[in-house]
């Protein structure tokens, strides 16, 4: 993969307002026209915690520069690792309520398999490596949350010795 490919097809953004996933997908298509595969994923705030408790807010604290750099590095790794033409990563920060989009990942390429793999890889990295400090608020009070064992296992499958990519 060339650095030119990276610069042209790479978009990483830290958003402090609601993410319009449809608009982000349209933008991705405009930046990388003519490709047969367009894959996107949007993660939303769940209405309940993993413990089954009602969730009022999810808060993602961040460091503006460090967090953005972590998003850029993850996006760059995805476009370099897979045969895709464009990658878009947009991640929310701040306070969000259930139903709001936390993250948008979009990938374009000539082949669906590579696009799906790239999107999956990006989400596994974002879930565990993006620089955020996450808190849940609800009737239970407030608590910090960390990546789960499952999140770490999902990431481990991309380890060079474990994956074909």
pLDDT tens profile 97-120:
999 999 999 999 999 999 999 999
Range name among 14-18, 29-33, 42-46, 68-72 with the lowest pLDDT average: 29-33
Closest CA to 5 of 47, 39, 35, 41: 35
The model carries a pTM of 0.89
Asked if residue 163 is part of any domain, the answer here is no
Asked if residue 162 is part of any domain, the answer here is no
Asked if residue 136 is part of any domain, the answer here is yes
Residue 1 pLDDT class (50, 70, 90 cuts): very low
CA distances from 87 to 8, 13, 90, 164 (A): 10, 11, 10, 20
Q: Is 51 helix (H, G, I), strand (E, B) or coil?
A: coil
Cα separation of 28 and 25, whole Å? 5
End-to-end CA distance of the chain: 13
CA quadruple 44, 45, 48, 52: dihedral positive or negative? Answer: positive
Asked if residue 164 is part of any domain, the answer here is no
Mean per-residue pLDDT, 18-46: 93
Can you give the residue range of the structural domain that contains 26? 3-156
Helix (H) or strand (E) holding 38: strand 37-44
Asked if residue 13 is part of any domain, the answer here is yes
Radius of gyration of the chain (CA): 16
- Cα 97 vs. chain centroid, distance in angstroms? 18
Count of structural domains, the chain? 1
Asked if residue 118 is part of any domain, the answer here is yes
pLDDT tens, residue by residue, 119-135: 999 999 999 999 999 99
Asked if residue 165 is part of any domain, the answer here is no
Q: What is the CATH number of the domain that holds 49?
A: 3.90.1170.40
Cα separation of 120 and 154, whole Å? 9
Mean per-residue pLDDT, 58-66: 95
Cα separation of 153 and 132, whole Å? 19
Q: Is 153 left (phi over 0), alpha (psi -120 to 50) or beta?
A: alpha
- Cα 112 vs. chain centroid, distance in angstroms? 18
Does the pLDDT of residue 6 top 80, yes or no? no
């Amino acid at each position: 993969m060339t650095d030119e490919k990276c610069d042209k097809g790479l978009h990483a953004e830290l958003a402090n307002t609601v993410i319009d996933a449809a608009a982000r997908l349209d933008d991705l298509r405009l930046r990388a026209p003519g490709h047969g595969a367009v894959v996107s994923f949007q993660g939303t705030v769940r209405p309940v915690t993993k413990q089954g408790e009602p969730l009022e807010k999810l808060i993602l604290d961040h460091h503006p520069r460090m967090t953005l750099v972590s998003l850029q590095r993850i996006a760059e790794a995805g476009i370099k690792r897979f045969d895709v033409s464009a990658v878009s990563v947009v991640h929310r920060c701040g306070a969000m309520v259930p139903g709001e989009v936390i993250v948008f990942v979009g990938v374009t390429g000539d082949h669906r398999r590579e696009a799906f793999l790239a999107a999956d890889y990006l989400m596994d990295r974002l879930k565990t490596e993006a620089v955020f400090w996450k808190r849940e608020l609800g009737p239970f009070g407030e608590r910090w949350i960390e990546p789960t064992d499952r999140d770490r296992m999902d990431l481990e499958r991309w380890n060079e010795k474990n994956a074909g990519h």
